[in-house]
Structure 1
Amino acid sequence: MSRNSYFLPTVTFQTFSTTVEEKAKWIFNKLKGKPLKSLPDLLRENNLPPGLFPQNITCYEFDESKGKLIVYLPSPCEVCFKDSSVIRYSTRVKCLLSRGKLSGIEGMKTKVLVWVKVTSVNVEGYKSDKVLFTAGVKKSRPKDAYEIPRDATRVEEF
């Protein structure tokens, strides 16, 4: 390396830049109107288990008029739930939120035999004790496994 060249760890800089941008959006949204509820509260209000996303989210954006939800995480990560299921999250998870359902999901996958992209999460009814994951194939799991946001484990790649 020459004296005048600089090495910037690209991944670290990009992660830092993305995190700063996400926090700035969160602060702007907080200043312009009503403060956002916690993500677990938003999920609960829509008849979804509050622990579908890990504890370590950076922030989230929710466009109530379109139902568009974007959840930001500091790094790709995965969570092992109490039913032994594992969900892997990208640094940004985009989806449509409606009563009892997350659909059009980008940035979330689960392992069946191989990692398969999760396309929707659905709770059949208000009293249902099951969460239905659609990931190439439909997989029903006990709803109580997702009642509490859990710690995530960082992974190298989504």
Structure 2
Amino acid sequence: MVESEAGRWIPELEERSLSTSVGDGAKWLVNKLKGKMQKPLADLLKEHNLPVGLFPREATNYEFVPETRRLTVYIPSPCEVGYRDGSELRFDATVSGALGEGRLTEVEGIKTKVLVWARVTAVKADAAKVHFTAGIKRSRSRDAYEVVRGGITVDEF
């Protein structure tokens, strides 16, 4: 528990989520005033031929810089997501990478379970499969990632 500016005691995680929400709200307001509205993350992924369920449902805020192709996705807390095909991904609170057509490279903030948790360095999608590079290359059915799933909070990434 930590004391808020208003003098009320709140759980530390709630305070972090609150400050993230306030920050995200401020970004939204500035973008609205500039006339720039951010499209939903699912739409951005679709435009780049990636499955909409690649990130957990909780990942609603992101920054994308078209000039550098840099995508940064914000998740309230580290979480783990299980997919229909039995695969599991673990996400840090911040995930970043270079977004291209059908691929996300230079990935930081995602792990996949291959006996142990291994850091994902690239994601590539084609019509039938999603390919994860994590020390070794692993392909999974794309269908499993077409549905956005909720994440289960984990203590650490």
Matched to 1:139, the amino acid is R
Residue ranges of structure 2 left out of the alignment (5+ in a row):
1-8
Counterpart position of 1:48: 50
**1:4 matched residue in structure 2:** none
**TM-score normalised to structure 1 length:** 0.86
* Alpha-carbon shift at residue 26 of structure 1 (Å): 3.4
Q: Structure 1: which 5+ runs fail to align?
A: 1-6
Q: In structure 1, what is the Cα distance between the partners aligned to 2:31 and 2:25?
A: 10
Q: 1:75 pairs with 74, 77, 101, which one?
A: 77
Query: Of 17, 25, 32, which aligns to 2:27?
Result: 25
SS at match of 2:139: strand
Q: Following the alignment from structure 2 to structure 1, what is the Cα–Cα distance between the partners of residues 146 and 114?
A: 21
How large is the Cα RMSD of the aligned pairs? 1.9
Q: State the partner residue of 1:151.
A: 150
Tell me which residue corresponds to 2:59: 57
More strand by share: 2
Measured in 2, the distance between the counterparts of 1:70 and 1:60 equals 6
**Identity of paired residues, percent?**
50
Q: CA deviation at 1:9?
A: 5.5
Asked if the contact 1:50/1:148 (under 8 Å) is kept, the reply is yes
Q: Distance in 2 between matches of 1:27 and 1:89?
A: 27
The aligned counterpart of 1:102 is: 104
Partner residue, 2:4 = none
Q: Does residue 35 of the first structure (1) align with residue 37 of the second (2)? A: yes
Q: TM-score, normalised by structure 2?
A: 0.86
Q: Distance in 2 between matches of 1:53 and 1:111?
A: 16
Q: SS state of the match for residue 15, structure 2? A: helix
Corresponding residue for 1:133? 132
Task: Find the aligned partners of 2:47 and 2:93 in 1 and give their Cα distance.
Answer: 24
Compute the displacement of 1:123 (Å): 1.7
1:56-104 Cα shifts (integer Å, max 9, x gaps) = 1241111111111011011111110000000011111111100010001
Any residues of structure 2 matched to 1:79-94 within 5 Å, and which?
Answer: 79-94=81-96
Q: How big is the shift at 1:11?
A: 5.0
Q: Which amino acid aligns with 2:123?
A: V
Query: How many aligned positions are there?
Result: 150
Are the equivalent residues in 2 in contact too, given 1:58–1:74 (CA < 8 A)? no
| Aligned 1:103-122 pairs, distance under 5 A | 103-122=105-124
Q: Which amino acid aligns with 2:69?
A: G
User: Once the 2 structures are TM-superposed, how far is the Cα of residue 8 of structure 1 from its aligned partner?
Assistant: 7.6
CA distance in structure 1 between the aligned counterparts of 2:32 and 2:50, rounded to whole angstroms: 24
Q: Secondary structure at the match of 1:13?
A: helix
